[in-house]
């Protein structure tokens, strides 16, 4: 009887396992059939969250990048006699001063772009921005027609070579026209971005003014809710991320400003048309390693070819080579020496991955994210080596203890 009961229990257990397995398989099949809809819904939810969080994320980036400037003015204001009795308000005045300087710098930059296109010195307006972008698109269209005419006049005998040249030219020009059209679309639809910008600016100002209080509150909450070990690792990760991102992004932004000025001045002295536009675009593209020099050379060569000004083209290329050499060997290493050290091959690999994952923004963030991964990997390797060294020391101590016991016997 006991054997029969035991057999019945085993059969019952097996039956339960079979039923549960069938239910799991059925549920998985339903999930697999509904996977596209589930993924689409999850992506829609994620996009909604990102749309809602966009002003906060932009505000955080703005506050993160401008905090050193605010701290600089705050430290100086504290030493002024007028602020001796208003120490608490120094931060607010520093934020206002920083915002005014940024506004003046942006206005001056756009006004210079307007001057480079219209040859008239005046403050930039919304219509001027539309004119700049429209002129850029028209210039590209004119350049495409001239290049195609040049190719036809060359009468290249090789049909295959002629096809390759036309395909490469068409690809490059379509990219430039698409870039200009996307900028024009963004400018003409600026009302759609205005609300996000205003909210981001307001939140960013609060971040700058009350940043210390917010940090202390987050630290207090994390200490109350999270374990000590997790807090320790989280703080270390935040310190590493801050070191890498602050050093890289702030260094790159400084390099962008320097290259804007140097390239614009050099090409203006030489007499290359649209020198300020080329300088600004090349400086901005310097945020992506190896992309800024390409834009500078390509812009100078294209503009000079359109105007058949080969002398200025050669002088411009030589000037750009000198500037890029100084930037690559002196300015860049000085600005980034304290933030990241990463092999050029890894930079290219990170740029490829960043472009595939996040497009233009992914390429900008690829290098600092890759540098952070490298820092974390090196820290993990050091931790593992330290553990192994400790195990070896403990093993040697055990062996010494065992040998001393044998000797005593």
pLDDT in tens, 160-191: 555 655 566 566 556 555 555 555 555 555 66
């890498």: which residue's tokens? Answer: 244
Report whether 351 contacts 288 (CB < 8 A): yes
Q: How much of the chain exceeds pLDDT 70, in percent?
A: 71
Global confidence as pTM: 0.63
Centre a 10 Å sphere on the Cβ of residue 307 and count the other Cβ atoms it contains: 13
Out of 120-124, 151-155, 207-211, 399-403, give the one with best mean pLDDT: 207-211
Greater model confidence, 89 or 319:
319
Residue 111 banded pLDDT, cuts 50, 70, 90 = confident
Q: Where are the alpha helices (DSSP H) in 119-189?
A: 126-154, 159-188
Question: Domain spans of the chain?
Answer: 2-33, 54-118+189-225, 125-187, 236-339, 341-409
The pLDDT value recorded for residue 121 is 44
Q: What confidence tens digit (pLDDT) does each residue in 291-345 have?
A: 888 888 888 888 888 777 788 889 989 999 998 888 877 776 666 655 566 777 7
The pLDDT value recorded for residue 120 is 45
- In angstroms, the Cα distances linking 163 to 141, 152, 169, 222, 249 are 20, 11, 10, 62, 42
């Amino acid at each position: 009887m006991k054997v029969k009961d035991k057999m019945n229990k085993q059969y019952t257990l097996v039956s339960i396992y079979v039923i549960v397995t069938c239910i799991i398989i059925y549920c998985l099949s339903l999930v697999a059939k509904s996977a596209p809809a589930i993924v689409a819904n999850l992506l829609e939810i994620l996009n909604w969250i990102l749309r809602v969080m966009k002003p906060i994320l932009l505000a955080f980036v703005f506050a993160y990048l401008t905090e050193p400037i605010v701290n600089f003015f705050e430290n100086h204001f504290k030493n002024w006699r007028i602020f001796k009795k208003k120490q608490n308000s120094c931060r607010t005045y520093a934020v206002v001063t920083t915002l005014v300087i940024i506004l003046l710098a942006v206005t001056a930059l756009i006004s210079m772009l307007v001057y480079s296109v219209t040859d008239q010195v005046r403050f930039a307006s919304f219509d001027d921005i539309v004119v700049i972008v429209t002129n850029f698109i028209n210039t590209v269209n004119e350049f495409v027609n001239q290049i195609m005419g040049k190719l036809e006049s060359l009468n290249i005998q090789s049909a295959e070579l002629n096809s390759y040249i036309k395909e490469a030219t068409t690809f490059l020009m379509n990219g430039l026209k698409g870039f200009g059209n996307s900028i024009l679309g963004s400018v003409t639809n600026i009302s759609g971005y205005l609300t996000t910008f205003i909210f981001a600016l307001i939140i960013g100002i609060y971040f700058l003014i009350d940043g210390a209080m917010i940090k202390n509150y987050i630290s207090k909450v994390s200490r109350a809710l999270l374990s000590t070990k997790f807090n320790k690792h989280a703080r270390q990760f935040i310190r590493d991320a801050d070191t890498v991102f602050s050093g890289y992004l702030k260094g790159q932004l400084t390099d962008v400003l320097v290259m804007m000025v140097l390239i614009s001045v050099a090409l203006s002295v030489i007499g290359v048309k649209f020198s300020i536009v080329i300088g600004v675009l090349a400086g901005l593209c310097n945020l992506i390693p190896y992309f800024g020099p390409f834009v500078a050379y390509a812009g100078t060569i294209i503009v000079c070819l359109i105007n058949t000004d080969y002398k200025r083209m050669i002088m411009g290329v030589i000037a750009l080579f000198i500037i890029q050499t100084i930037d690559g060997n002196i300015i860049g290493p000085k600005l980034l020496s304290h933030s990241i050290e990463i092999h050029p091959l890894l930079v290219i690999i990170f740029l490829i991955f960043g472009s595939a994952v996040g497009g233009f923004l992914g390429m900008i963030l690829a290098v600092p994210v890759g540098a952070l991964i490298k820092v974390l990997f090196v820290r993990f390797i050091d931790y593992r080596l330290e553990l192994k060294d400790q195990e070896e020391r403990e093993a040697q101590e055990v062996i010494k203890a065992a040998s001393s016991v044998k000797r005593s016997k």
